[in-house]
């Protein structure tokens, strides 16, 4: 998203009707193009497979399989992406580039083992209880694992691409605004030390770091004191 923001800032900085229209078109394509590509791919698959000539039960089986492949691939990839992407960001910040690939491979191995272990019981259930053809079950399992690889790898490629683009263009962090959402504890006693640590890590002045706390008035998991969430926005400048 940082790379997209830089591109849009370049376009809108000219402040003309043509560039505003270009920026609107660019942001629209970036936002909805992937969705349309997926829809088009599914439609093409249905045409090539003769989707309209098969029975209702088989069509529903295909649709549900595609849906659950996406859902479970995303669910199994997300925990590893959340943890290991943070580690890789730290590795890049510390310029320990030799640790990027080992981090990727370890995460990929763990993700593969978890995804495989979770997918096999479902496949067995579909074959034994659902009486689904074994070849269809196998293809669905392969699609699920392949999509998990895609979701996992996309994040790492995105991190490396954005970091390279930002560094090549000479950008740096100028300002950070952080909002912590928690019912308890109160954030104010800790804001000064957090601002100091963040400013040291980003190598910016402490006055350029703003941290504030809020609550969700006992709503959601933060309101029930089951966890804490955080929103952070940074300004890049040359």
Per-residue model confidence as pLDDT tens digits over 146-157:
888 888 887 777
Low-confidence ranges of the chain (pLDDT < 50): 1-2
Give me the pLDDT at residue 167, please.
58
For residue 220, CA distances in Å to 79, 130, 215, 236 come to 20, 37, 10, 32
| Pair 18, 26: CB distance under 8 Å | no
Give me the pLDDT at residue 133, please.
86
Residue percentage of the chain with pLDDT more than 90: 0
Any idea how long the chain is?
Answer: 238
Give me the pLDDT at residue 165, please.
56
User: Rounded distance, CA 208 to CA 197, Å?
Assistant: 12
Beta strands in the chain (DSSP E): 172-181, 209-214, 229-237
Give me the pLDDT at residue 205, please.
82
Give me the pLDDT at residue 78, please.
78
């Amino acid at each position: 998203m940082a790379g997209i923001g830089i591109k849009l800032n370049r376009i809108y900085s000219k402040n003309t009707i043509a560039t505003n229209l270009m920026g609107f078109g660019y942001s629209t394509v970036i936002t909805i193009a992937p969705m349309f590509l997926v829809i088009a791919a599914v439609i093409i698959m249905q045409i090539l497979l003769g989707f309209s000539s098969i029975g209702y039960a088989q069509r529903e089986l295909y649709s549900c399989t595609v849906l659950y492949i996406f859902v479970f691939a995303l669910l199994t990839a997300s925990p590893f992406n959340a943890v290991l992407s943070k580690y890789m960001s730290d590795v890049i910040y510390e310029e320990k580039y030799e640790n990027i690939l080992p981090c990727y491979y370890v995460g990929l191995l763990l993700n593969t083992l978890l995804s495989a272990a979770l997918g096999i019981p479902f496949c067995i259930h579909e074959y034994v209880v659902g009486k689904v053809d074994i070849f269809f079950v196998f293809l669905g399992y392969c699609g699920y694992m392949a999509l998990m690889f895609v979701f996992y790898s996309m994040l790492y490629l995105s991190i490396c691409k954005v970091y390279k683009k930002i560094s090549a263009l000479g950008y740096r962090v100028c300002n950070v605004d952080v909002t912590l959402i928690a019912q308890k504890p109160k954030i104010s006693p800790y804001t000064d030390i957090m601002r100091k640590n963040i400013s040291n890590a980003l190598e910016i002045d402490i006055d350029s770091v703003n941290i504030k706390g809020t609550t969700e008035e006992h709503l959601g998991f933060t309101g029930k004191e089951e966890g804490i969430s955080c929103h952070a926005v940074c300004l890049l400048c040359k």
